[in-house]
Structure 1
Amino acid sequence: MKKNPIPFLRKLGLIEGISFLLLMGVAMPLKYIWGMPTPVKIVGWAHGVLFVSLCVSLLQTMIVAKWSLKRGALIFIAAIVPFGPFLIDRRVKGYEKEFHESRTASPSESPVLR
């Protein structure tokens, strides 16, 4: 049985969301209001790494959990929208519960065998 990748995806999504808020709410004002470009370079780089990591983790989760393209696209779009990762987290938590239940269901209850 493969390990559940959804908890990692959720945590990474929340961290990526926080990095985006730091970039837009702290680093960008420091650059454009107070002329301090260094925070944008640091936070922007970290946010970029986190975003790419989130995309890779999402792809891995889609494969392991057998998610549809629609579900993956919804989560990807939420990662781009400000506050999106925080708003989509509840839904992803439901997907996590669904994945766990499908893994622990008895073979007679499995939707594959119906």
Structure 2
Amino acid sequence: MLRTYVGWFRFVAIAEAVSWAGLLVAMMFKYGLGEPLGVTIFGWVHGAVFTGYVITSLLVSSPLRWRFLVLVLALAASVPPFGSIAFERWALRRGWLEMPEEPGPNLWNRVTWTLRELN
């Protein structure tokens, strides 16, 4: 599963949703029972996984040839609880989580070419 860009993205998307669930449960304990330790732990965990999701989305957008709008949707999906799972399912149905067959130009190739031309 973790050998491809798709596998990494799906893994991190699920991990982000699980960390959201943990944070929501910890918030129930904090505000319902007055136990704030869970929010301290799961807040840190969720923050790390959230950052990983954003970085993973940015990294896989070019090899998977996502349009800019798809990347924006992936990043926006990280904000609401379980949005990353909803985006992952949507992208899977729409074919955005499939590797292109031929390695054509992507964002990083264009950036590299532009930087070479500027020098």
User: SS at the partner of 2:35?
Assistant: coil
Residue 96 in 1 paired to residue 97 in 2? yes
For residues 54 and 11 of structure 1, the distance between their equivalents in structure 2, rounded to whole angstroms, comes to 9
Contact 2:27/2:39 (CA < 8 Å) preserved in 1? Answer: yes
For residues 55 and 84 of structure 1, the distance between their equivalents in structure 2, rounded to whole angstroms, comes to 13
Aligned to 1:22: 22
The residue type equivalent to 2:97 in the other structure is E
Residue 68 in 1 paired to residue 67 in 2? yes
For residues 6 and 80 of structure 1, the distance between their equivalents in structure 2, rounded to whole angstroms, comes to 21
Runs of 4+ in 1 over 4 A off after TM superposition: none
For residues 59 and 4 of structure 2, the distance between their equivalents in structure 1, rounded to whole angstroms, comes to 10
Paired-residue identity, %: 28
The residue type equivalent to 1:56 in the other structure is I
Aligned to 1:13: 13
| Alignment TM-score, normalising by the size of structure 2 | 0.74
More relative contact order in 1 or in 2 (CA 8 Å, sep 6+)?
1
Gaps of 5+ in 1: none
Contact 1:27/1:40 (CA < 8 Å) preserved in 2? Answer: yes
Offset of 1:80 from its aligned partner? 1.0
Offset of 1:91 from its aligned partner? 2.4
Offset of 1:56 from its aligned partner? 0.7
Q: How many aligned positions are there?
A: 100
Please list the CA deviations of residues 14-58 of structure 1 after superposition, one character each: whole Å capped at 9, or x if unmatched.
Answer: 11011112211x100111111111100101100000000111111
User: SS at the partner of 2:96?
Assistant: helix
